A and B are shown apart, each in its own frame.
Chain A
Amino acid sequence: MIRMDRRLFENFDMVLMLFICLVCIMALFNLYSASFPHNTYGIAPYVRQGYFFLMGFTAFVFVISFDYQELHTLNYPFYVLITALLVIAFFVGDKAGGAQRWINLGFFRLQPSEPAKLMLVIALASFYSRKEVVDGYSIRQLLIPVVLTAIPFVLILLQPDLGTALMFGIIFVSMTVFVKLRVSTYVIMGSLALGLGGFAWEQLLKPYQKQRIQTFLNPENDPMGHGYQIVQSKIAVGSGGTFGKGYLEGTQGHLHFLPERHTDFAFSVWGEEWGFTGSLIFLGIYFLLLLWGIHVAMYAKDRFGVLLAFGVVTLIFWQAVINLLMILGFLPVVGIPLPLVSYGGSSLLTTMLALGILMNVRMRRFQNPQSTDI
Chain B
Amino acid sequence: MGLKLFFKEIDNITEHDDEALNLLKKRLLGAAIVVIVFFTIIVLRLWSLQVTHGKDFEKRAYSNRVRVQEVVAPRGHILDRNGKEIVTNRPSFNVILIREDSRNLGDVLKRLAPILKKDVSELWEKIREASGEPRYLPIRLKEDIDWETLAYLENHNHAFSGIRIEVQPVRVYHYGDFAANTLGYLGEISKKELADRDREIYSGGDLIGKRGLERLRESDLRGEKGKNYSEVNAKGFEQQLLKSIDPLPGREIRLTLDAELQQIAETFMDAGEKSGAVVAMEVNTGRLLTVVSAPSIHINEFVGGISRTNWQALLDNPKHPLINKAVQASYPPGSTYKMVTALAGLAKGAITEDTVFYCPGYYRFGNRTYRCWKRGGHGPVNLKKAITESCDVYFYQVGQRVGVDGLAEYARKLGLGKKTGVEMEYEKSGLAPTKEWKLKYRNGKWQEGETLSVAIGQGFNLATPIQMCVMTAALANGGKVYRPQLVETVVDPEGNIIESFKPELMTEVKGLDRYFRLIREGMEGVVQGKRGTARKVAIEGLRIGGKTGTAQVVKIAVYRHLKEKDIPYKFRDHAWFTCFAPADKPEIAVTVLVEHGLHGGSGAGPVARAILSEYFRDRLQESRPEIATVP
Chain A residues proximal to chain B, CB less than 8 Å: 127, 129-132, 134, 143-144, 147, 178-180, 224, 228, 232, 234-242, 251-252, 255-259, 271, 275-276, 279-280, 283, 287, 290-291, 294, 297-298, 302-303, 306, 310, 313-314, 317, 321, 324-325, 328-330
Contacts and interface: CB of A to CB of B under 8 A. Distances in A.
Given A257-B234, A303-B21, A328-B49, A238 B54 contact: yes
B134 A276 contact: no
B32 A291 contact: yes
Contacts of B41: 325, 330
Nearest to B19: A134
Contacts of B2: 143-144, 147
B150 to A, nearest CB: 31
Where chain A touches its partner, the secondary structure class is helix
Contact of A235 (B27, B28, B61): B61
Contacts of A302: 16, 21
Interface string B15-27: 0100011001101
Nearest to B30: A178
Given A239-B54, A317-B35, 19 more contacts: A131-B14, A143-B5, A238-B53, A238-B61, A240-B50, A241-B51, A241-B57, A252-B64, A271-B46, A276-B46, A280-B46, A283-B42, A291-B35, A302-B21, A303-B16, A310-B28, A317-B38, A325-B42, A328-B45
Contacts of B34: 317
A255 B240 CA distance: 11
Nearest to A242: B51
B65 A130 contact: no
B9 interface: yes
Given A251-B61, A255-B233, A310-B28, A238 B13 contact: no
A147 B34 CA distance: 27
A271 B31 contact: no
A239 B54 CA distance: 5
Contacts of B50: 237-238, 240-242, 271, 275-276, 279
A235 to B, nearest CB: 5
Chain A CB within 10 Å — which of B16, B135, B234 has the most?
B234
Contacts of A256: 233-235
B232 interface: yes
In the complex, the 4 A-B pairs of residues with the closest C-beta atoms, listed nearest first: A238-B57, A256-B233, A241-B54, A239-B61
Interface in B92-140: 134-135
Given A238-B57, A276-B50, A251 B65 contact: yes
Given A236-B61, A239-B57, A303 B24 contact: yes
B31 A276 contact: no
A144 B58 CA distance: 52
B31 A294 contact: yes
Contacts of B58: 238-239, 241
B25 to A, nearest CB: 6
Interface in B581-623: none
A241 B52 CA distance: 8
Contact of B9 (A127, A234, A298, A325): A127
13 contacts: A130-B10, A131-B14, A132-B16, A144-B6, A235-B61, A239-B61, A251-B65, A280-B46, A283-B42, A294-B28, A297-B28, A310-B31, A328-B42
Max count, chain A CB within 10 A of own CB: residue among B13, B51, B64, B65: B64
Contacts of B49: 234, 237-238, 271, 328-329
A130 B35 contact: no
Contacts of A275: 50, 54
Contact of B43 (A283, A314, A321): A283
A20 B475 CA distance: 101
B231 interface: yes
A303 B23 CA distance: 10
Interface of B: 2, 5-6, 9-10, 12-14, 16, 20-21, 24-25, 27-28, 31-32, 34-35, 38-39, 41-43, 45-47, 49-51, 53-58, 60-61, 64-65, 134-135, 231-235, 239
Nearest to A228: B234
A235 B47 contact: no
Nearest to A236: B61
Contacts of B45: 325, 328, 330
Contacts of B65: 251-252, 255, 257
Contacts of B61: 235-236, 238-239, 251-252
B9 A255 contact: no
Contacts of A298: 25, 28
Contact of B13 (A130, A271, A291, A328): A130
A103 B54 CA distance: 42
B234 A238 contact: no
Given A255-B233, A283-B42, A130 B28 contact: no
Given A144-B9, A234-B57, A241-B54, A294 B47 contact: no
A30 B343 CA distance: 93
B53 A280 contact: no
A297 B46 contact: no
Contacts of B46: 237, 271, 276, 279-280, 283, 328
B21 A306 contact: yes
A341 to B, nearest CB: 14
Given A235-B61, A276-B47, A131 B9 contact: yes
Given A302-B21, A306-B21, A280 B54 contact: no
Nearest to A140: B5
Contact of B35 (A134, A224, A290): A290
B28 A257 contact: no
A205 B209 CA distance: 54
A374 to B, nearest CB: 23
Contacts of A325: 41-42, 45
A330 to B, nearest CB: 7
Contacts of A143: 2, 5
Contacts of B20: 132, 134, 303
A143 B4 CA distance: 12
Nearest to B64: A257
Given A127-B9, A144-B5, A238-B54, A283 B39 contact: yes
**B27, B42, B134, B231 — which one has the most chain A CB atoms within 10 A of its CB?**
B42
A232 B31 contact: no
A324 B35 contact: no
A280 B231 contact: no
Residue with the highest number of chain B CB atoms closer than 10 Å, among A130, A147, A238, A321: A238
A239 B56 CA distance: 8
A252 B2 CA distance: 52
A130 B39 CA distance: 33
Contacts of A255: 65, 231-234, 239
Contact of B42 (A236, A294, A324): A324
A242 B55 CA distance: 10
Interface centre among B43, B134, B231 (most CB of A within 10 A): B43
Nearest to A250: B61
A242 B64 CA distance: 20
Nearest to B32: A294
Question: Which of A234, A239, A313 is the most central at the interface, judged by chain B CB atoms within 10 Å of its CB?
Answer: A239
